[in-house]
Structure formats: structure tokens, C-alpha cells
Amino acid sequence: MRIGLFAVGRLKSGPEKDLVARYLDRFAKAGPAVGFEFTRVAEVGESRASNAETRKREEAAALLKSLADGGILILLDERGKALDSEAFANLLGSYRDQGKRELTIAIGGADGLDPALYDRADATLCLGKMTWPHQLVRTLIAEQLYRAVTILSGHPYHRV
Ligand SMILES: C[S@@+](CC[C@H](N)C(=O)[O-])C[C@H]1O[C@@H](n2cnc3c(N)ncnc32)[C@H](O)[C@@H]1O
């Protein structure tokens, strides 16, 4: 199953970008052992439209355009469902076992995600109830993707 990220907002050089690269690199290298292939981070700059609804609609259009037909879409949103790392790994594993070929995890910009995306999404997950900046969310989900592979492959990186 091919897995990629979609993110609104560009990540500038700095510690967050380095950490994201480190975990996505580990994920890309370890993923094939459990049937995951890392594709890419599709990054779009925040819309410059003057109102939030238009900005979110434009950002959502870019996301929807980049999605493969029948691809799984997971939204990250602080109001989403909280899963522990094992449950997140098992969710990814279950999509893989159902024969899903593409999975995209989407991170919104400063305005959050457009309401239309919630109808299209297969799951909406949170990384805790607090609101994080998109740079940190990218870092957190990159680490959780790598952790999910270690859980599914029985690697000792993940310990409880
Ligand atoms: C700065 S937040 C936007 C907050 C915005 N006010 C809202 O209502 O969604 C940018 C993005 O980071 C992600 N995000 C922030 N905190 C999160 C959390 N606790 N769990 C999951 N995703 C989160 C979401 O994708 C969000 O759209």
C-alpha cells in the first residue's frame, strides 16, 4: 500500500524539517517489510484568499485533486478520534489487508480543513486534544508512521 502525506503550509529549513525527514526516511526504508511504500509529502502553500472559507475551499480542492480514485483519506484534526499507536498501526494494517492501494494523511493549515473533506474522509484522527502547529503535526505523524511499521513488524523500537 502506498502511503503519502498532504500538508497545507510549507515547512522551512530547521529542526522540524530535519525530524520529519529523519522519520520519513526510516519509514520509507522499513515500510516495505510490512507492505507499505512511502510516496511523498504533497505540500501546498496556504491560500491567499481574503476569507477563511475560500482559503479552506481552495486548499481542499488541491487535496482532492491529488487523491487517487478509491484512495483512503485520513484527516488529522484535534477534534478527531484518538487512537493509541497500536490501534493506529492496526488501522493502517487493516487498509493494507483489504487491498487498498493508496492512503493519504492530510494536515490542514492555519484555518484547519474544509468541511467538505470530512464527508470524503475514511477516518478523522487526533494527536491529542490540544491544537498543534502544522510543523509539529507533520513531525508527530512522521514518527507515528515509522512506529506503526515497527509495531507491525515486531521491531523493539516500540515498547509499552
Ligand atoms: C494550527 S492547526 C489549525 C487549527 C484550526 N484552528 C482548526 O480549527 O482546525 C493546523 C492543522 O494541524 C493539524 N492539527 C493540529 N492539532 C492537531 C491535533 N491535536 N490532532 C490532529 N491534528 C492536529 C490539523 O490538521 C490542523 O488543520
To test the ligand 1 pocket, which listed residue (53, 77, 84, 113) has its Cβ within 8 A of the most ligand atoms? Answer: 77
Distance CA 18, CA 31 (A): 19
Which whole number is the average pLDDT over 124-132?
98
Distance CA 69, CA 147 (A): 27
91 within domain boundaries: yes
57 within domain boundaries: yes
Any atom of ligand 1 within 6 Å of the Cβ of 113:
yes
Quote the percentage of the chain above a pLDDT of 70: 100
159 within domain boundaries: no
How many distinct structural domains can be found in the chain? Answer: 1
Any atom of ligand 1 within 6 Å of the Cβ of 115:
no
127 within domain boundaries: yes
Q: Which structural domain range is residue 79 located in?
A: 2-153
Q: 9 CA to middle of ligand 1, Å?
A: 12
3-state secondary structure of 150: helix
* Pairing label, strands 72-82, 2-8: unpaired
Kindly report the protein residue whose alpha carbon is nearest to atom 18 of ligand 1: 78
pLDDT, tens digit (0-9, with 9 covering 90-100), for 66-118: 898 889 999 999 999 999 999 999 999 999 999 999 999 999 999 999 999 99
Closest by CA to 23, choosing from 137, 101, 153, 154, is 137
Which phi and psi angles does 36 have, rounded to 5°? -110, 140
Average pLDDT value over all residues in the chain? 96
60 within domain boundaries: yes
pLDDT exceeds 90 at position 159: no
Which whole number is the average pLDDT over 30-40?
98
CATH number at residue 132: 3.40.1280.10
Any atom of ligand 1 within 6 Å of the Cβ of 107:
yes
158 within domain boundaries: no
ipTM confidence: 0.96
Quote the percentage of the chain above a pLDDT of 90: 93
160 within domain boundaries: no
Retrieve residue 41's grid coordinates: 509529502
